[in-house]
């Protein structure tokens, strides 16, 4: 069983966190290269799961469109929002206070070499975490991430609401980037983008706080993520 080090980075600027996870990612790859040709059981890998909150920032994946950012540079600056084009998959999304961003940095050759399974596993971690709070999360075949549903009412149609966005990047089967899980997130920031490039009338975003009608202690939710990450990835967590 692999050991994954759990680290809570607290609130950290996007660039600083990107630099941090990149350094960890490169160290895992370098360690793998240095032991090329040796049996995997002959050396350990320093996998990490990083959890972090970011100040308000929009990030645009390599397959995304700038048209999905609805603010000018001046408007971003006036609102105190940063913007970063990055090398993960996916389109544009928002990170900010009250949101738990997860960066698993894993050498997948120690787990399984299947990108789709990796993304499904991340979704499963979030689905199990939501279930603890009585929220049913599910997948939509055409879209990556975790969704919830609001039933139709007399005045509004049923809505599928995205609660967790996922965007990853792999190099030498070593993972980078991860997920953005809306817990107590201010959803107003999503009005200035086309979230994940999805512009369907029956789809929008949500948060745990919106669904439950109350804010949740982030540390409590992080501990649930940690528990379910260990279950789903069949690993041992250490701090």
For tokens 């107590």, the residue is 184
Q: Which two tokens stand for residue 71?
A: 């603010």
Q: Catalytic: 235? A: no
Q: Which residue(s) pair with 57 in the sheet?
A: 82, 95
How far is residue 111 from each of residues 1, 48, 118, 173, 236, measured CA to CA in Å? 9, 13, 9, 10, 12
CA distance 67 to 224: 36
Catalytic residue among 196, 205, 208, 235: 196
CA distance 120 to 44: 25
Q: Which residue(s) pair with 137 in the sheet?
A: none
CA distance 233 to 227: 10
Say which residues have a Cβ less than 8 Å from residue 101's Cβ, sequence separation at least 6: 17, 51, 52, 53, 54, 95, 178, 179, 180, 181
- For the chain, helix (H) and strand (E) counts, in that order, are 5, 12
Q: Which two tokens stand for residue 25?
A: 């990612």
CA distance 37 to 150: 52
Active site residues: 196
């Amino acid at each position: 069983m692999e050991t994954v080090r759990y680290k809570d980075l607290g609130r950290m600027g996007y660039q600083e966190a990107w630099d941090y996870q990149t350094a960890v990612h490169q160290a895992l790859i370098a360690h793998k290269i240095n032991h090329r040709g040796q049996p995997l059981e002959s050396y350990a890998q320093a996998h990490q799961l990083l959890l972090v909150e970011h100040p308000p920032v929009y990030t645009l994946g390599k397959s995304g469109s700038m048209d999905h950012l609805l603010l000018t540079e001046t408007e971003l600056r006036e609102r105190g929002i940063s913007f970063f084009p990055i090398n993960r998959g996916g389109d544009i999304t928002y990170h900010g206070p009250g949101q738990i961003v997860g960066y698993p940095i894993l050498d997948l050759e120690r787990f399984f070499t299947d990108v789709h399974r990796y993304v499904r596993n991340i979704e499963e971690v979030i689905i199990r975490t939501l279930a603890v709070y009585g929220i049913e999360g599910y997948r939509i075949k055409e879209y990556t991430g975790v969704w919830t549903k609001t039933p139709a009412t007399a005045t509004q149609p049923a809505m599928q609401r995205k609660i967790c966005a996922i965007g990853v990047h792999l190099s030498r089967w070593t993972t980078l980037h991860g997920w953005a899980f809306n817990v107590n997130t201010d959803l107003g920031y999503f009005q200035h983008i086309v979230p994940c490039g999805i512009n369907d009338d029956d789809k929008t975003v949500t948060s745990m706080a919106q669904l439950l009608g109350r804010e949740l202690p982030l540390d409590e939710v992080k501990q649930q993520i940690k528990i379910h990450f260990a279950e789903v990835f069949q690993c041992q967590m250490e701090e």
